[in-house]
């Protein structure tokens, strides 16, 4: 199973995160998505884009995404991140050959 790690500390905003998703899932190699390098920061497009990867057996590891803090939506980034997390959670539920794991840096110790 391939692993893709997204570390929230590496992104200055949710927009960087969208760009990283596209890059890590090699969107430029998918003909229908070759012109969407940031998925237009749109959760609907992300949902559709993930479908193109549903047979890839990927373990998505989200590091430093504190779901409880994000749920509070204290800023716009948290709002966007909460939507993206819901998209991924629904995706792995629909396609259980893919998995989702959340870790915090302190979990590595």
The list of the chain residues with pLDDT below 70 reads 107-109
pLDDT at residue 86, as a whole number: 96
| Lateral strand order in the sheet of 58-63 | 2-7, 58-63, 99-103
pLDDT at residue 95, as a whole number:
97
- The one-character DSSP state at 3 is E
Residue 107, pLDDT score: 53
Output the pLDDT for position 103. Answer: 95
Phi, psi of 58 (to 5 degrees): -110, 135
Q: 39 and 18 in contact (C-beta within 8 Å)?
A: yes
The verdict on pTM exceeding 0.85 is yes
CA-wise closest residue to 100 among 90, 27, 108, 109: 90
What is the pLDDT at residue 51?
95
% helix, strand, coil for the chain, step of 5: 55, 15, 30
């Amino acid at each position: 199973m391939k692993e893709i790690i997204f570390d929230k500390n590496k992104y200055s905003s949710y927009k960087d995160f969208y760009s990283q998703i596209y890059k890590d899932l090699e969107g430029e190699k998918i003909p229908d998505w070759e012109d969407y390098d940031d998925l237009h920061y749109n959760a609907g497009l992300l949902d559709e884009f993930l479908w193109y990867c549903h047979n890839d057996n990927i373990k998505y590891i989200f590091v430093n995404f504190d779901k409880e803090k994000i749920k509070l939506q204290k800023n716009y980034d948290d709002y966007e991140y909460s939507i993206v997390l819901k998209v991924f959670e629904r995706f792995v539920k629909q396609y259980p050959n893919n998995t989702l794991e959340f870790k915090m840096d302190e979990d590595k110790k």
